[in-house]
Structure 1
Amino acid sequence: MRPTRPLLSWALAAALAAGPVALSAAPAAAVTGPAVSSGDTTYAYTAQIIVGGHDRGCSGVLVDREWLLTAASCFAADPVASLAVPAGKPQKKTTATIGRTSLTGTAGAVREVVELVPRTDRDVVLARLNRPVTDVTPLALATTAPAAGEELKLAGYGRTKTEWAPLNLHTGTFSVDGTDATTATVTGKDNVAACMGDTGGPLVRTTGGTPQLAALSSRSYQGGCFGIDAEETRTGSIAARVDDLAGWVDSAVGAVRITDYNCDGVEDIAIADPRATVGGDAQAGLVRVVYGGGKGIAEITQDLDWVPGGSEAGDWFGESLATVDYNEDGCTDLVVGTPAEDLGGEAEAGFVQILYGAPGGLGTGALKATHLEQGQGSGSIGASASEAGDRMGDSLAAGTTAAGEPFVVIGVPGESIGTLAEAGMFFYVRGGTSVSVHQDSTGVPGTAEADDRFAGSVAADANHIAIGSPGEAIGTEAEAGAVVVFSHTLNSENRPTARFGLDQSQDTVSGGAEAGDLFGDAVALAPYRPSGAASATESILAVGAPGEDLTIGGADKADTGAAYTFRVTAAGTYSQLAGFSQGTGDDDVSGTAEAGDRFGSALSAVNTAPRAVSTTATMRLAIGIPDEAVDSVANAGAILTLSLLGAPGANDRWLEAGNTAGIPGPPGTNQYLGRSIHFTGTRLYVGMPYGPGTYGALHSLPLANVTAGATAAPITTYQPGQGGLPSAGSRFGLAAR
């Protein structure tokens, strides 16, 4: 008996796991039309998708360098019963081949699907790839619905009339019968039909020679497809409309990647308490992870069997943190610095660990941790030696390059270069190996000198790396400070390429190099896309100089502090954009400069829309002022948020405990608000490890709370003794990622 409704073309797949498939010796006439020749790149945006060990086969379409659009039914547990697909990492390993007309060739790219963002109203899901596809042009979405009588071209890797698992992309023409709010009904022409494995394949409209994605193949009667009853001759299909999804796609594709240690699509947060007592060891340190969506709290210490090392008094485990999906599996990995770790009798030699995320949370997958310690492993880290005072991991940065390759930058500011104590260096970890970089490395501006503390601060984005050297002497001015900017392009020594150095003796940098300025004591970077550019290949660099002395209103203010911003081009040139300080009480910059404020001690920057042209609203900077006196309360601390673009004083907002930003108050003596700040794409995390609570706290502020003129929203507070967090600790919130 013929079915009364279209078959689910995705029901194919289980058979693919049964064993080898007999393929025809000669090319067969395909149900979806002729095979596309190996040299034809017209449909290069089409992807073959294999779920699990060939449990299912589907097709898809590249709509962004890192994202496919395909059918949700490809990933549903039982697509006949429900198209519901959990957000986050696919439940089974999924491989996508893009831009390869013949699967026996080498063109295009093979990627792993690491994240799903499903629709709930139709058979559509966005699938993120582990790395961008750089040699295939994505297909743009249509903006009008398929019209009755219109002809669309389907491309897919599904069955043909005679082949179960063809090795070539095939195409066929379909006529539109009609549409509703989310679907279109189509019928194949000249006996063409959508077969098993074509699900998720693009139905393409071409107008004026320009192709557009009008719909995705969803269900089909499969008349004439291999393995279908010969009595079934219908070639009708149901397709999922996508012409109204551009806003949804742009929002998902353009969002800043969230921290997601259990890869479920919900933001998580790791909060360090490096002075916490662990097993009786004072100040051994720990990290507490709060999994979003109410999925529990985990405590990570060096006493866990999957974390290398062991908790010891004074380790300060978690003094620095960074995040990156280092093994490219779709789960965020946590990079933990323990710079106070003693090794082999060498005090504060330090080391770093990468703790891997997994669907069950950090440390629950097959790959649990990578230990990075001088004298162990390969590369420059393995070739070096742990020495007293190195403080490896004192500063950390991590991310992915523009090509999507994960990296970690590890500051070792106490490293001796030859006989030069605390000259400093950093390790660049990428591609499974590491290289060391210091000021005597090829092409690096400056010269290694004692007490430079090169890499005392580090920052990085997809384009550049910024290395602060706050102890750098400029001429005879001790601790005037400097910054060196690198690109991720490797030089002849396989080290990042130095682009330029910055210090305040240069005519292109505001102020003058003076003793104790500490220019570079804090650095931050955010990707920048100027108007007219195709992508964010530039960066905005922020540099803090908390020791800067300023003359305000005719009075000298020692250590009031300042911050400076610079535009860094893809070619490696720079220009200063602005300088920031609090000024007088009646100017347009919030706050009043006072001696000892140490404005610029901490910085955090973010581009909340990295795919779009950058604006004053999307480029954001937070400046920590931890020694700020609020009224008569000494060292209460404050934070200034503003735009990385535009004039100083525009778009700024003042944050102190108890004001409208939402941080609980009142201000307290020696709370040092502003020492711990971290921007994400949706919020600013503010740590208060020095009180007012006994153990410290971390506050999560929505962007509205740190945006000038916006109405503040409720904040989220993480505090020991509340929300399932144990009532214990000492410096909870000193770092958070």
Structure 2
Amino acid sequence: MRDTPERGSVWCAVITVCTLVGLMTVAAPSSPASAVAACGAGGVDADFNGDGVRDVVVADPEATVGGKQRAGAVTVVYGGTGLGPERFDQDSDEVRGSAQEGAEFGLSLAQADLNGDGCSDLVVGAPYTDVADAQDAGAVHVLYGDPAGLAANASTSYDQGQDGVEGGAESGDLFGYAVAAQRSASRAPYLAVGIPGEDVGSVPDAGAVDYLSGGTWGWVDQDAPGVAGAVEVNDRFGYSLASTPSHLVVGAPGEAIGAETFAGAFWIFGGSLDTAGRPAPLGAPNQESPAVGVAESGDRYSTSIAAVPMPDATGTYKGGSYVVAGSPGEALGDTEEAGSVSVYKVTAAGVVTTVAPGLHQNLTGTAETAERADHFGQQVAAVVQGTTLRVAAGVPGEESGPEHTDKGGVQIFALPPGGGLSDSWIDPGYGIPGEPSPRMYVGVSLGATPDALLVGAPYGRSGAPGAVYAFDWTVASGGAAQHTYEPGAAGIPAGGTAFGAAVR
């Protein structure tokens, strides 16, 4: 049996080592000049209708569609006043193909203006899609933005069974388990697709990334020229992805460091491409390079990754990036799987320095205390406000007692450029609305906007299919959410199963 993430289990997919794991060719419906004029000047992330206001996307990859369980759906909540929320699934007219049981449409999300019309486009991963006879081969869908909303425009879909897409569709590949989309510093758009279950040659589950730019797919794995390391069993290269205009970051939480299996590492790539369409490799940090600790079996470093542009002291962006890596299996002393998060600066050329070698719950003066199986860092999110970096770490294994096992929570850190550290804490019943209950796993789903931290609570609310809460990044411990997104409220379609399992 393949050692890949289990279908339909956002949390269980990573809680144990044994389950770890002109761009587009479709023409826009109007000419580029008229499309840009209609979409506005652009420049606002996740603005799918081009009105200058950021929109929010909430996924329910476990939603039943047309009687097909875990087919998956996404809901777009437009930030302006002109359009109401829209729900998309693979039975929607705007999405190619049809709903497939177990596909988990929406398990991964990304956005960027990929066709240059001024509106953001939405990328949706459905990694458990069957392609021909290949079970769980995976697929990715792109829904194009338009002033009338995503529903007004064409879409396209990709899988490894298509001509031109690198690799071949094989059972358990999980094409689309992670996705990233960006416009580079030179404004060239690209799409990166993680394939953590890909066999490379005869090596099972080594993992790879398909990289689409300028209409050409490039193939990246650890055997590619200049890429550090070597292809190994269970590396899961491409399990996590993040991007800024200067860098693509690829996580491999199954990477072995020496004899330490599932220790984990991540790779940094720049914007220039070689003749095979591959981005330039710039380095591959792990916990021992630069030193932020000791690489140990089961750390699963880079299970989650966030990357944001790094300003200089005046607030000007000059090509650097902050990279945040979660290590949810990290032991703190004798406390197994407590978890930690590391923070780095990366220059445009790829030089890596450490900002914070380890954020965790045993730091002096911080909220909460590390406990066994907290899995701090299972998910991370980050933003820069002014020159202050703010980092959120999901702690889905957090509990306040046996009656609230794995209720979860989120710890938020502020790292000003001059040094120092402050934090706050929210969890169910303490900032997150409602009563705490077992197995809520709050912290498995986080999203970042310039103004808000989005916290998904897809599980554990009795009689409810989940919700997403937007908090100010400067919220005090136990502070209230600014806004709530939930099915059946404020125009959001009712129903679902795990609303908020992914959000951006």
Distance 1:563 1:648 in 2: 17
1:543 and 2:325 correspond: yes
Partner of 2:449: 680
Shift in alpha-carbon separation, 1:94–1:265, aligned structure 2, 3 A: same
User: Which residue in 1 is equivalent to 2:236?
Assistant: 453
Specify the SS of the correspondent of 2:106. Answer: coil
The equivalent residue for 1:324 is 112
SS at match of 1:289: strand
**2:297 alignment partner, one of 515, 530, 544:** 515
Corresponding residue of 2:77: 290
Aligned residues: 472
CA distance in 2, matches of 1:703, 1:681: 9
Percentage identity across paired residues of the two chains = 38
Aligned residue among 138, 143, 146 for 1:355 = 143
Q: 1:536 Cα shift?
A: 2.9
User: What pairs up with 1:430-441 in 2 under 5 angstroms?
Assistant: 430-441=213-224
Residue 702 (structure 1) aligns with? 472
Deviation at 1:656, TM superposition (A): 1.1
1:124-162 Cα offsets, whole Å, 9 max, x none, are xxxx3x6xxxxxxxxxxxxxxxxxxxxxxxxxxxxxxxx
Maintained 8 Å contact 1:581/1:593 = no
User: Structure 1 residues 368-377 or 352-361, which shifts more?
Assistant: 368-377
Q: Deviations over 1:497-553 (max 9, x none)?
A: 1111112233x22111111011111111111122379633111111111111111xx
Task: Give 2:59's aligned residue.
Answer: 272
Matched position secondary structure for 1:550: coil
The amino acid across from 1:559 in the alignment is E
The one of the two structures with greater contact order (alpha-carbon pairs below 8 A, sep at least 6) is: 2
Task: Tell me the distance in 2 between the aligned counterparts of 1:363 and 1:724.
Answer: 16
8 A Cα contact 2:432 2:480, kept in partner = no
Deviation at 1:727, TM superposition (A): 3.2
Contact (CA 8 Å) 2:109, 2:124: kept in 1 or not?
A: yes
Cα distance change, pair 521–94 in 1 and its aligned pair in 2 (3 A): closer
Amino acid at match of 2:398: E
Equivalent position of 2:422 in the other structure: 651
Alignment of 1:92-107 (within 5 A): none
Separation in 2, partners of 1:577, 1:114: 42
- Code of the residue aligned with 2:196 in structure 1: it is P
CA distance in 2, matches of 1:520, 1:94: 38
- From 439, 446, 459, the equivalent of 1:690 is 459
**Distance change in 2, residues 1:294/1:689 (3 Å):** farther
The answer (yes or no) to whether the contact 1:700–1:717 under 8 Å persists in 2 is yes
Q: Which has the larger radius of gyration?
A: 1
Match of 1:735 in 2: 502
For 2:406, the equivalent position in structure 1 comes to 635
TM value normalised by structure 2: 0.88
Q: CA deviation at 1:276?
A: 1.0
Q: Give the counterpart of 2:343 among 559, 562, 565.
A: 565
Deviation, 1:363, is: 3.0
Q: Deviations over 1:662-692 (max 9, x none)?
A: 4203322110111110011111111111131
Match of 1:720 among 481, 487, 491: 487
For the 8 Å contact 2:217–2:277, the answer to whether it is kept is no
Unaligned runs of 5+ in 1: 1-91, 97-110, 117-127, 131-255, 610-614
| Alignment partners' CA distance in 2, 1:299 and 1:257 | 22
Report if aligned partners of 2:328, 2:340 keep a CA contact under 8 Å in 1. Answer: yes
- What is the CA–CA distance in structure 2 between the aligned matches of 1:730 and 1:533, rounded to whole Å? 42
Report whether the alignment pairs 1:375 with 2:153: no
CA gap 1:648/1:285 in 2 versus in 1, 3 angstroms: farther
For structure 1, which segment, 530-539 or 677-686, has the greater mean C-alpha deviation from structure 2 after superposition?
530-539
Post-superposition CA distance 1:592-617 (Å, at most 9, x none): 111111111111122245xxxxx22x
Alignment of 1:220-239 (within 5 A): none
**Which amino acid in 1 is paired with 2:488?**
G
Task: Name the structure 2 match of 1:574.
Answer: 352
Q: Deviations over 1:460-517 (max 9, x none)?
A: 10111111111111111110111111111223433111111112233x2211111101
Instruction: Please say if residues 630 and 667 of structure 1, whose CA atoms lie closer than 8 Å, have aligned partners that are also in contact.
Output: no
Task: Indicate how the Cα distance of structure 1 residues 115 and 278 shifts in structure 2: closer, same or farther if over 3 A, else same.
Answer: closer
Distance in 2, Cα, partners of 1:669 & 1:713: 21
- Tell whether the 8 Å contact from 2:213 to 2:277 is kept in structure 1 after alignment: no
- In structure 1, the residue matched to 2:435 is 666
Amino acid at match of 1:307: V
Task: Provide the secondary structure at the position in 2 that maps to 1:363.
Answer: helix
> What is the CA distance between 1:398 and its match in structure 2?
1.4
Do the aligned partners of 1:704 and 1:712 also contact (CA within 8 Å) in 2?
Answer: no
SS of equivalent residue, structure 2 residue 432: coil
Corresponding residue number in structure 1 for 2:47? 260
- For the aligned residue pairs, the C-alpha RMSD in angstroms reads 2.4
Partner of 1:596: 373
Pairwise CA distance, 1:583: 4.0
